[in-house]
Chains A and B, each alone.
Chain A
Amino acid sequence: MRQSQFEQRYQPQWRRLEQGLAALEKKQRPKNVDLSRFTDDYQDLCHQLALSRERGYSLVLQDYLNDLMLRAHRQLYRHRAPLMPRLAAFLRGDFPRAVRAMWRWHLISALAFLLSAGLVAAMILHDPELVHTVVDGNGVSDLENMYHPDLRDSSDRNRADDLMMFGYYIYNNVGIAFRTFAGGVLFGIGSLVVMLFNGSFLGAAAAHLTLVGAGQPFYTFVIAHGAPELTAIVLAGGAGLRLGWSLVAPGSWRRVDALRRAARETLPVMYGVFLLLVLAAMIEAFWSSRELDAQIKYTVGGISWALLYFYLLFAGRHGSE
């Protein structure tokens, strides 16, 4: 068949596809466009493109058909599952299951964090001057201003401050968690460095504040939101390490395939990390800053840790896989 006959025969079909595409690409679907034959037209188009190549029709026609097909392909294979049921399933079991499936990596991440924290804290308790090797001068005085009973001035704190701190915690902490995860793709080094650094900082802060007599305000402040916050950072580190390890030791996979698989497995953990950090920011901004009896603070904090770990360890164990 000659090219012009070919074009004339299928022109109506291509026009119909173009109209359907114009409607679909604009998102809101106009009522007057008939999409009932879209998939059939698309399948015919695939055939027509192959024919036009086979028969050596002009390159312009081939390009036109290829472009049309690409656009149709992009519309046909676009799918959007409803968000709410997925979110419910995620919270009910997918997230804790994803965390447990990688428990070794989270354990390594947690150890890096806790060991560096413990080591630095022990060093500072032994020789208080060492705090300056971990935290610079401004950082030390900031810490003291924030927590020391004699220095801090909490009388003028109000709702607006809570909101400001909430924004700051989200911006800062979620950013750190995402970077910790991303750093993992550089053979795990990025994640490990962040975990060691954060652990050291926490250890230094805790030890120094204890030494200067600000231990109680510090612990009562951090205990409740510490559960979701520290856990989320550790999980982000574990996910990053998992990602990095897929490049270091891909096993029988191609490196890029191993990376892809690791990314698919770690993504649910990162969704959870995000939710945990939003929760932590809310607790930190709106609860941790309240002036309450230390007893109450420790109790609520303890419950918060217990609930979170009960959830991560046991939720979704008997659900549908």
Chain B
Amino acid sequence: MLIDERLHIDTPEGARLTLSLAGPLPRGMAYGIDLMIRGLILMVVATPLTLLGRGGSGLYLLLLFLLEWFYPVLFEVFRQGRTPGKAMMGLAVVHGNGAPVGLSGSLVRNLLRTADLFPFAYLTGFVVMLVSSRQQRLGDLAADTLVIHVPASQTRPAPGDSGGEPPDWPLDRGDQLVLLAFHDRGPRLSEERQRELARLAYPELNDDAALARLRRVVNHVLGAA
């Protein structure tokens, strides 16, 4: 998510919420997925409809119309801002204040899609997105909507409480953050790398002792006795 930006908004409760804005690439891919889904629906439906003759082609045109203009709107309103493509890419449309997009917002941003398409291949929308401070295309600007990355639901493991040991140096806030980062990311590093990091903290001990000691200090910072 390096090229994506973070946006801070203040909720009515006075808390600060951090959103990560989705850039052109994931949005383009979500659009591509949706395009394929729409194409698939049309293909599946076209065959039986052609058997119905001219009345069938009328229904086909109606479906084409609905898919072109209301496919995104229906999904965004009833599936909490996510078309199937967006859901697959982990994106969602929200209002500028973080609230889920409603019917009006979704309609405006999707009606104005034509202007973003102008003159071809979303060129206008892409340029506007690059100059806009919150990665919005014209439709988003008019509707005051954002496309954000929505975190997959996850549960947090309960903290373990093995033995702790106070550090032998006065701990400032920077040190504290480093130790917490080691706690959070350590399990994903190789044992070798963990030992290497521990050696930086306790050059006077051998690797295994240094690592064990570092872990106890981390536990202390986390709150173990």
The number of residue pairs between A and B whose CB atoms lie closer than 8 Å in the complex comes to 180
Encoded as 1 (CB less than 8 Å from any B CB) or 0, chain A from 71 to 107 comes to 1011001110000000000000000000000000000
A57 to B176, CA, bound (A): 9
A187 to B153, CA, bound (A): 42
- Asked if B206 lies at the interface with its beta carbon under 8 angstroms from chain A, I say no
- Asked if B55 lies at the interface with its beta carbon under 8 angstroms from chain A, I say yes
- Asked if B212 lies at the interface with its beta carbon under 8 angstroms from chain A, I say no
- Asked if B222 lies at the interface with its beta carbon under 8 angstroms from chain A, I say yes
Chain A: residues with Cβ within 8 Å of the partner, total of 70
Determine whether the beta carbon of B64 is less than 8 Å from that of A66: no
* Chain A residue nearest to B61 in the complex (CB): A167
CB distance from A265 to the nearest CB of B (A): 11
Interface centre among B59, B141, B143 (most CB of A within 10 A): B141
Determine whether the beta carbon of A4 is less than 8 Å from that of B222: yes
Partner of A164, one of B57, B118, B155: B57
> Which chain B residues border A22 with CB–CB below 8 Å?
153
Partner of A178, one of B114, B138, B159: B114
The segment from A46-54, A113-121, A137-145, A146-154 found at the interface with B is: A46-54
A69 to B10, CA, bound (A): 12
Determine whether the beta carbon of A18 is less than 8 Å from that of B155: yes
Interface centre among B52, B113, B183, B223 (most CB of A within 10 A): B223
> Which chain A residues border B222 with CB–CB below 8 Å?
2-4
Determine whether the beta carbon of B99 is less than 8 Å from that of A179: no
> Which chain B residues border A25 with CB–CB below 8 Å?
80, 153
A6 to B221, CA, bound (A): 12
Encoded as 1 (CB less than 8 Å from any B CB) or 0, chain A from 118 to 129 comes to 000000000000
Partner of A78, one of B13, B61, B100, B114: B100
CB distance from B122 to the nearest CB of A (A): 13
Which of chain A's residues 219-237 have a Cβ closer than 8 Å to chain B? none
Determine whether the beta carbon of B154 is less than 8 Å from that of A67: yes
Encoded as 1 (CB less than 8 Å from any A CB) or 0, chain B from 91 to 108 comes to 010100111101010011
- Asked if A253 lies at the interface with its beta carbon under 8 angstroms from chain B, I say no
The segment from A255-263, A294-302, A307-315 found at the interface with B is: A255-263
CB distance from B164 to the nearest CB of A (A): 9
With contacts A25-B80, A175-B69 taken as known, whether A46 is within 8 angstroms of B15 at the C-beta atoms is yes
Determine whether the beta carbon of B112 is less than 8 Å from that of A58: no
Given contacts A178-B114, A260-B144, 9 further A-B contacts (CB under 8 A): A4-B161, A58-B181, A59-B177, A70-B98, A160-B52, A175-B69, A185-B142, A190-B118, A267-B104
Binding site for A on B (CB under 8 A): 11, 13-19, 52-55, 57-62, 64-65, 68-69, 80-81, 92, 94, 97-100, 102, 104, 107-108, 111-115, 118, 124, 138, 141-144, 150-151, 153-156, 158-159, 161, 173, 176-177, 180-181, 183-184, 221-224
- 7 shortest A-B CB distances, which residue pairs? A2-B223, A167-B58, A46-B15, A167-B61, A58-B180, A4-B223, A164-B58
